[in-house]
Each structure stands twice: as structure tokens, then as C-alpha cells.
Amino acid sequence: MGRILQAVIVLVILAVLGVLGYAYFGDMQADPVAQRAPVTLPGLAPPAPATETPPAVPAAPVVPESAPVFGGSSAPAEAPGGN
């Protein structure tokens, strides 16, 4: 009977130490750090600009009439689709 009582007392002491340890160490948390992240909610996006500029279209290069013609005769070319 003495050994059982000794085992119970040891287990009670260990349980008390476990509860005290959990009370001390179990409550520790990391230091709070402020974090910010931009969030765009659906339906609440900023409105599109009122005037949109069309993309720039490069102009056709201007060739002076006196420029040499490469790869063919020096006669003026016919208009496309002409008869």
C-alpha cells in the first residue's frame, strides 16, 4: 500500500508542476507586428479614367519621289486594286 501511495503523490506533484509550467510557458505569444497589404475588393475598384487615349499608331514612312527604287524598274508602281 505504501508504494501505491508514493506513486500517487509523485504523480500529483508532477501534475502540479505540469500545470504550473503550462500556466507560465503556455501563455507566451510572439510580439505583435503591424502588417499592411493592399486589397482590392470586387465591385469597389476605382473607376476607369473618363478619357482614354488610343494607342499611338506609327505613321507610314514618307518616301520622296526622287528616292531610288530597289528591286525593280524605276517606273511608278500601280495603285493596289487598279485595273
Q: Rounded distance, CA 70 to CA 3, Å?
A: 113
46 domain-assigned: no
34 CA to centre of own chain: 19
Domain span at residue 10 reads: 1-26
Helices (H) and strands (E) counted in the chain, each on its own, are 1, 0
Domains identified in the chain, total number: 1
Query: Considering the entire predicted model, what is its pTM?
Result: 0.34
- The pLDDT, as a whole number, for residue 68 is 65
- The pLDDT, as a whole number, for residue 14 is 97
More confidently predicted of 16 and 1:
16
| Structure-block grid coordinates of residue 45 | 475598384
53 domain-assigned: no
70 domain-assigned: no
More confidently predicted of 24 and 68:
24
Model confidence over 41-73: pLDDT tens digits? 777 766 666 676 666 766 676 666 666 666 655
33 domain-assigned: no
More confidently predicted of 63 and 82:
63
31 domain-assigned: no
| Structure-block grid coordinates of residue 7 | 506513486
Q: Rounded distance, CA 2 to CA 7, Å?
A: 9
12 domain-assigned: yes
For residue 17, CA distances in Å to 12, 66, 70, 73, 80 come to: 9, 103, 98, 105, 98
79 domain-assigned: no
